[in-house]
């Protein structure tokens, strides 16, 4: 409950934005990647937290009304989602509506991305509604690699961290199964219809037994889902040009915000792979180890033994975490790769080496630009026929990425498209996507003809 003292002070950022225990509350999770958000909510429910994924994009008008336009699009979408949801709850419950029963989940990132400040900014906006002032905002942060300490009792937090990591990887694999099968399905809609049920089953297993960390059961489910969906493939349909998506994590994963770019690309003849959620989580762990190594070097130079001991201990912990993540990720991918050739995930170390080798960008600069540039080059290395960069209009890391990738991919003869998003529909969007797909098809033809030893017009031009 807020007090008159902290009503209009910065204290609110500490008293109402933080790591509060969410046990017994309804945790409101904004929708992002459809599989990922639902599996994450199921992980919280496995620990008795009544987590729900909020309806999304219905409150965009509200999100725009209460922002100035200087914020990036993900901020407007998530703000709209929470205002819309809380208003609906107020309408539904009438006098029984009690803000203390809810907690709003809005993760943050450190570094130059303003998204790290959006939970504070959204606090200021929720505070303008007296009826929503007592809805606390809780977050996980890149600062400690999304540890759930503070949100759950300490004995549950580390179990939650393991479970939610595996859930994120399962979400990635389910997405990749859909993207591999849907463009070649025997009957339109059969993959989506099946996956809706499959997702519900995975959620219910996570919710009922996830806290026991019985991953074998989940692995078996992933394998069964793969086998079932393989049967949807029409073997008579030729392989399409493969398109790799990079960019800002929220927008590229949230279909409403990116105006269903994956489906459009599929409708225009592509097979699409979006960068995974796991890639970002692994990058966060990798980056923390980099920063710790830097601290270690400074402490060594200064002969600071206390700092040295701390850095060594932290480096060991991070190495264990990295190996654990790698092991768990491989386990889930292996179950699917046995039956279906989905795109394996990029290794962060390989991405870094690729950037270093070509002197294109440095992990020291940080931000998603490193992953997007390196990820795009990995797609090219794996024989993709086009790259799309999806990002919030004016996003700084994504603009850097455009500046590097556009000339580079042009030189390599790989079709490339920027897809900035701000909620408006650009009149030429469909034409741009169709043209891009036409180029990607030409690239595929040229590549496969080239593999057969023939030169083509596309190759002659590039």
The H-or-E segment that residue 420 falls in is strand 416-421
CB 107 to ligand SF4: min, Å: 12
Give dist(CA 460, CA 182) in Å, integer: 33
CB 314 to ligand SF4: min, Å: 26
Q: Does 139 bind ligand SF4 (CB under 6 A)?
A: no
Q: Does 374 bind ligand SF4 (CB under 6 A)?
A: no
- Region near ligand SF4 per CB under 6 A, out of 85-93, 232-240, 392-400, 449-457: 392-400
Total number of residues that touch ligand SF4 (CB under 6 A): 9
Contact positions with ligand SF4 (CB under 6 A) in 147-206: none
Q: Rule CB under 6 A: choose which of 397, 415, 420, 423 binds ligand SF4.
A: 397
Q: Rule CB under 6 A: choose which of 315, 396, 408, 449 binds ligand SF4.
A: 396
| Closer Cβ to ligand SF4, 113 or 318, answer by number | 113
**22 and 103 Cβ atoms separated by less than 8 Å:** yes
Cβ neighbours for 429, distance < 8 A, ≥ 6 positions apart? 259
**322 and 292 Cβ atoms separated by less than 8 Å:** no
Q: Does 337 bind ligand SF4 (CB under 6 A)?
A: no
CB 248 to ligand SF4: min, Å: 5
Contact positions with ligand SF4 (CB under 6 A) in 84-123: 113-115
Q: Rule CB under 6 A: choose which of 210, 278, 392, 420 binds ligand SF4.
A: 392
Cβ neighbours for 227, distance < 8 A, ≥ 6 positions apart? 339
Strands 102-105 and 50-53: unpaired
Q: What are phi and psi of 352, to 5 degrees?
A: -65, -45
Q: Which residues, in sequence order, are bridge partners of residue 392?
A: 421
| Closer Cβ to ligand SF4, 159 or 395, answer by number | 395
| Closer Cβ to ligand SF4, 248 or 345, answer by number | 248
Q: Rule CB under 6 A: choose which of 222, 370, 395, 437 binds ligand SF4.
A: 395
Q: Does 371 bind ligand SF4 (CB under 6 A)?
A: no
Q: Does 340 bind ligand SF4 (CB under 6 A)?
A: no
Q: Rule CB under 6 A: choose which of 89, 185, 248, 287 binds ligand SF4.
A: 248
**41 and 28 Cβ atoms separated by less than 8 Å:** no
Q: Does 72 bind ligand SF4 (CB under 6 A)?
A: yes
Q: Does 420 bind ligand SF4 (CB under 6 A)?
A: no
Give dist(CA 361, CA 370) in Å, integer: 7
| Closer Cβ to ligand SF4, 76 or 285, answer by number | 76
| Closer Cβ to ligand SF4, 248 or 378, answer by number | 248
CB 250 to ligand SF4: min, Å: 7
| Closer Cβ to ligand SF4, 112 or 450, answer by number | 112
CB 261 to ligand SF4: min, Å: 17
**207 and 40 Cβ atoms separated by less than 8 Å:** no
Neighbours of 190 (CB within 10 A): 15
Q: Does 418 bind ligand SF4 (CB under 6 A)?
A: no
Q: b/e string for 34-64 if b means 16 or more Cβ within 10 A? A: bbbbbbbbbbbbbbebbbebbebbebbebbb
- Region near ligand SF4 per CB under 6 A, out of 17-25, 45-53, 352-360, 388-396: 388-396
Q: Does 132 bind ligand SF4 (CB under 6 A)?
A: no
Q: Does 284 bind ligand SF4 (CB under 6 A)?
A: no
Tokens found for residue 79:
């703000």
**278 and 328 Cβ atoms separated by less than 8 Å:** no
CB 395 to ligand SF4: min, Å: 3
Q: Does 370 bind ligand SF4 (CB under 6 A)?
A: no
Q: Does 22 bind ligand SF4 (CB under 6 A)?
A: no
Give dist(CA 335, CA 233) in Å, integer: 18
Q: What is the DSSP string of 95-118?
A: GG--GGGEEEE--B--SS-GGGGH
Which 3 state secondary structure label does DSSP give 105? strand
The structure tokens 């402490």 sit at 299
Cβ neighbours for 175, distance < 8 A, ≥ 6 positions apart? 33, 35, 274, 276
| Closer Cβ to ligand SF4, 21 or 422, answer by number | 422
Q: Does 369 bind ligand SF4 (CB under 6 A)?
A: no
- Within 294-403, strands assigned E span 386-392
Cα Rg of the chain, angstroms: 23
> Please, what sign has the CA dihedral across residues 401, 403, 408, 411?
positive
Binding site for ligand SF4 (CB under 6 A): 72, 113-115, 248, 392, 395-397
């Amino acid at each position: 409950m807020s007090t008159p003292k902290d009503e209009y002070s910065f204290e609110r950022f500490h008293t109402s934005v933080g790591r509060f225990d969410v046990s017994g509350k309804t945790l409101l999770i904004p929708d992002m990647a459809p599989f990922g958000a639902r599996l994450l909510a199921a992980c919280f429910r496995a620990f008795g937290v009544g987590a729900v994924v909020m309806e999304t994009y219905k409150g965009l008008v509200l999100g725009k009304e209460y922002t100035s336009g200087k914020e990036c699009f993900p901020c407007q979408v998530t703000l709209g989602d929470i205002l819309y949801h809380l208003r609906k709850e107020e309408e539904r419950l009438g006098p029984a509506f009690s803000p203390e029963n809810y907690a709003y989940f809005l993760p943050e990132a450190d570094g130059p991305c303003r998204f790290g400040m959006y939970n504070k900014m959204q606090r200021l906006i929720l505070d303008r509604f007296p009826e929503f002032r007592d809805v606390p905002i809780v977050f996980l942060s890149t600062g400690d690699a999304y540890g759930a300490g503070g949100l759950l009792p300490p004995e549950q937090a580390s179990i939650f961290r393991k479970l939610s990591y595996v859930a994120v990887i399962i979400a990635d694999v389910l997405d990749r199964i859909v993207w591999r099968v849907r463009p070649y399905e025997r009957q339109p809609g059969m993959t989506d219809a099946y996956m809706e049920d499959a997702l519900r089953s995975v959620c219910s297993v996570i919710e009922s037994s996830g806290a026991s960390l019985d991953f074998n059961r989940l692995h078996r489910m992933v394998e069964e889902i793969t086998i079932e969906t393989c049967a949807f493939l029409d073997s008579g349909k030729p392989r399409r040009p493969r398109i790799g998506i990079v960019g800002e994590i929220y927008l590229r994963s949230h279909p409403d915000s990116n105006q269903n770019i994956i489906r459009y690309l599929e409708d225009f003849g592509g097979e699409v792979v979006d960068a995974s959620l796991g890639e970002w989580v692994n990058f966060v762990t990798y980056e923390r180890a980099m920063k710790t190594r830097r601290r270690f070097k400074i402490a060594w130079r200064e002969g600071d033994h206390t700092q040295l001991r701390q850095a060594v201990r932290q480096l060991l912990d991070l190495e264990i975490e990295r190996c654990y993540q790698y092991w768990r990720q491989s386990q889930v991918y292996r179950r699917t790769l046995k039956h279906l050739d989905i795109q394996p995930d990029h290794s962060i170390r390989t991405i870094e080496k690729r950037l270093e080798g070509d002197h294109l960008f440095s992990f020291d600069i940080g931000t998603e630009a490193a992953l997007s540039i390196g990820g795009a080059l990995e797609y090219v290395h794996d024989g993709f026929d086009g790259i799309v960069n999806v990002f919030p209009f004016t996003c700084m890391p994504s603009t850097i990425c455009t500046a590097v990738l556009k000339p580079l991919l042009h030189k390599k003869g790989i079709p490339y498209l920027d897809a900035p998003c701000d909620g408006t529909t650009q009149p030429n969007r469909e034409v741009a996507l169709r043209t891009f797909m036409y180029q990607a098809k030409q690239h595929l033809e040229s590549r496969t003809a080239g593999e057969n030893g023939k030169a083509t017009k596309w190759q002659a031009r590039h």
